[in-house]
């Protein structure tokens, strides 16, 4: 059995009705590595649900799955996960040929809805900073509004899939982000450098996420002009 959403009660019910020899887990997003997530800190309400479902015959819960999982497959290299028994899985094929490599460095701003960070976010200051850094492209989030800062990457793929398809061939890709977790999904790749744009708001609002970026190998670049 392979499962990702270890807190899902439907999954718990199915597991309780099955006979199986082994159970394996794999990533369900950054909930697997952010210590404040439900996968690490189970709420009192969630514990009460476990008791109720146990009475109803559902014998599996989040903690039991973590305990019996033989191995956890993850794209987050060298980062503590929900269990210690992890195996890294790259989002790229290992057979990348040097002949197909583009000997070029490109810089991409990985966008996100800035108003979610701060309703008064200084967008102009951010744009000036990225221009000073000579950023080449803007990979927009679906909920971003306004015009792209630079040449927009137009694609139907999510960032990780687009990277695997188009960007893995470049010698080096520098990804600028404020706190987009999509950057964490590629940070372990050999040709990637992630630069985390730190602001006072982000440090106050997302301290655990900032720490996780740094621990994962991101370089921090300050933006004192952005609050």
Per-residue model confidence as pLDDT tens digits over 91-146: 886 555 566 788 999 999 999 988 888 888 888 899 999 999 999 999 999 888 87
pTM, two decimals, is 0.80
3-class secondary structure, 211: helix
Please report the pLDDT score of residue 71 as a whole number.
Answer: 96
Question: Alpha helices of the chain — where are they, by DSSP H?
Answer: 9-17, 44-55, 62-68, 114-117, 123-132, 159-162, 200-205, 207-216
Give residue-wise pLDDT tens across range 11-45.
999 999 999 999 999 999 888 998 888 898 887 78
Please report the pLDDT score of residue 96 as a whole number.
Answer: 58
Q: Where are the domains of the chain?
A: 2-88, 98-222
Please report the pLDDT score of residue 131 as a whole number.
Answer: 93
Please report the pLDDT score of residue 220 as a whole number.
Answer: 94
CA distances from 220 to 16, 24, 79, 93, 189 (A): 46, 35, 18, 29, 18
Average pLDDT score, the chain: 89
Q: Which CATH class is domain 98-222?
A: alpha beta
Closest Cα partner for 165 from 186, 144, 136, 188? 186
Q: For 61, what's the count of Cα atoms within 13 Å in the CB-facing half-sphere? A: 16
Give residue-wise pLDDT tens across range 173-188.
999 999 899 999 999 9
Q: For 226, what's the count of Cα atoms within 13 Å in the CB-facing half-sphere? A: 25
Give residue-wise pLDDT tens across range 66-99.
999 999 999 998 899 999 999 999 888 655 556 6
Inform me whether the pLDDT recorded for 63 exceeds 90: yes
- CB count within 10 Å of CB 143 equals 10
3-class secondary structure, 74: strand
Please report the pLDDT score of residue 74 as a whole number.
Answer: 95
Please report the pLDDT score of residue 81 as a whole number.
Answer: 94
Q: What span, in angstroms and rounded, lies between the C-alpha atoms of 22 and 149? A: 49
Closest Cα partner for 70 from 84, 91, 89? 84
């Amino acid at each position: 059995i392979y499962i990702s959403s270890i807190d899902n009660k439907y999954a718990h019910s199915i597991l309780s009705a099955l006979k199986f020899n082994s159970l394996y887990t794999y990533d369900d997003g950054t909930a697997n590595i952010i210590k404040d997530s439900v996968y690490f800190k189970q709420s009192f309400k969630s514990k009460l649900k476990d008791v109720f479902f146990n009475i109803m015959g559902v014998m599996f819960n989040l903690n039991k799955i973590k305990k019996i999982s033989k191995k956890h497959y993850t794209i987050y290299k060298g980062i503590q996960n929900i269990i210690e028994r992890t195996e890294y899985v790259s989002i790229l094929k290992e057979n990348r040929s040097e002949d197909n490599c583009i000997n070029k460095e490109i810089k991409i701003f990985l966008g996100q809805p800035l108003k979610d960070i701060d309703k008064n976010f200084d967008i102009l200051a951010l744009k000036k900073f990225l221009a000073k850094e000579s950023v080449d492209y803007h990979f927009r989030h679906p909920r971003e509004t306004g015009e792209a800062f630079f040449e927009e990457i137009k694609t139907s793929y999510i960032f990780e899939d687009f990277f695997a398809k188009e960007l893995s061939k470049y010698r080096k890709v520098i990804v600028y982000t404020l706190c987009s977790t999509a950057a964490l999904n590629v940070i372990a790749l050999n040709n990637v450098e992630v630069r985390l744009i730190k602001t006072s708001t982000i440090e106050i609002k997302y301290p655990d996420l900032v720490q996780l970026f740094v621990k994962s190998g991101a370089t921090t670049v300050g933006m004192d002009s952005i609050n």
